[in-house]
Structure 1
């Protein structure tokens, strides 16, 4: 069951089309998995469309509007069969993960899987710009060392479940972490856990030996 969602403000900004591309992508993927948020986005989108229509209509005289509608209705619309989008599947060491529809296209920009500390695997995604995106997989018993964030991190659970000392997360859950949060993501699920993350600055490790790699954290989570 999905318990963690984008805020209404985030969903409204997404629906208005003014959100940064990377953030828009991860929220779109969450909506692929969450009917509740998808319905909210639909409502926000309708409200924005009505507002825009009213603004445009206020500047158009009735005769011009009638001519415009006549032109539209007189056009022949091609209603050919549209291609049905199929969800892409990621593979790692024999495991297969079905992606939310919005993440289909970025799988083509995905780098190779690399093994990080412990039982953590990472595959970078090239989104362009300064935002860093990754698929991260934690095997059963895997854990990311305790850390906080120099910037912000958005995470979507694509498959599986994990805990971080703050809460328990399941498939579809969406979270935003920043410098106010200190957590230690880990999973004991047999199937492990796959997440999609975007960050704008490297992590900052806060405990034990992991603090030693802070000067190089951008090399591990890039």
Structure 2
């Protein structure tokens, strides 16, 4: 199945340059695990940044000395690298087992306990060693999140499965970034879904009785 939703090229550029927040870095990196298109964009950005570094002498460095240093680096024998065995980790939730993409596999020890949340869903935090926290969110078949908008940005990456809202259907690898201008009601139908998500501000429920939950919306995904 072709991935329809991707991080912007600008977001990938910021990721490659190392200036994204830890939470967004993990989501973009996990998307790259799943998306050949964005892997190519990332490679092109890496090559562009490398070319800029090579063609621009650092401030205060003699140009001749810089060129000599680069020549020495390029003429040095490449180190012999032993092939590394790719570690595989799986997690089990609601009786189903999911194999994690490489980026999440490296964060395996940071995944906390699963807890049930309203709407036939479960969440598990992934602690990043900073003030930020991302969540694995499992939506069982027939799950539904109350209609809401966002006080900040919400980024959701589909790891496995299918969910939909009023705008479209989202499958493995889709990277969905929403802000205060978006209102939606995510739900699953005949398939379940495992996602990775981050918020930089709580949800804001917009319809019916769930609006009474707004003071407690951080209990969902934040």
Q: With structure 2 as the length reference, what TM-score do the two structures score?
A: 0.90
Question: What is the aligned partner in structure 2 of residue 194 from structure 1?
Answer: 194
Distance 2:142 2:73 in 1: 63
What are structure 1's unaligned runs of at least 5 residues? none
What are structure 2's unaligned runs of at least 5 residues? none
Question: What is the aligned partner in structure 2 of residue 123 from structure 1?
Answer: 124
1:104-123 mapped onto 2 (5 Å cutoff): 104-123=105-124
Q: Does structure 1 conserve the Cα–Cα contact (< 8 Å) formed by 2:204 and 2:217?
A: yes
1:50-69 mapped onto 2 (5 Å cutoff): 50-56=51-57, 59-62=61-64, 65-66=67-68, 69=71
Q: With structure 1 as the length reference, what TM-score do the two structures score?
A: 0.90
How far does residue 141 in structure 1 lie from its aligned partner after superposition?
0.4
Distance 1:220 1:63 in 2: 57
**Which stretch of structure 1 is more off in the superposition, 97-106 or 27-36?**
97-106
How far does residue 25 in structure 1 lie from its aligned partner after superposition?
1.3
Deviation >6 Å, runs of 4+? none
Deviations 1:166-215 (A, max 9, x none): 2110100001111111111111133x000000111111111122111110
Question: What is the aligned partner in structure 2 of residue 25 from structure 1?
Answer: 26
How far does residue 62 in structure 1 lie from its aligned partner after superposition?
3.6
How far does residue 124 in structure 1 lie from its aligned partner after superposition?
1.2
Q: Give the count of matched residue pairs.
A: 220
1:60-99 mapped onto 2 (5 Å cutoff): 60-62=62-64, 65-66=67-68, 69-70=71-72, 73=75, 78-99=79-100
Q: Does structure 2 conserve the Cα–Cα contact (< 8 Å) formed by 1:162 and 1:189?
A: no
Q: Does structure 2 conserve the Cα–Cα contact (< 8 Å) formed by 1:160 and 1:189?
A: no
Q: Does structure 1 conserve the Cα–Cα contact (< 8 Å) formed by 2:141 and 2:190?
A: yes
1:214 aligns with 2:217: no
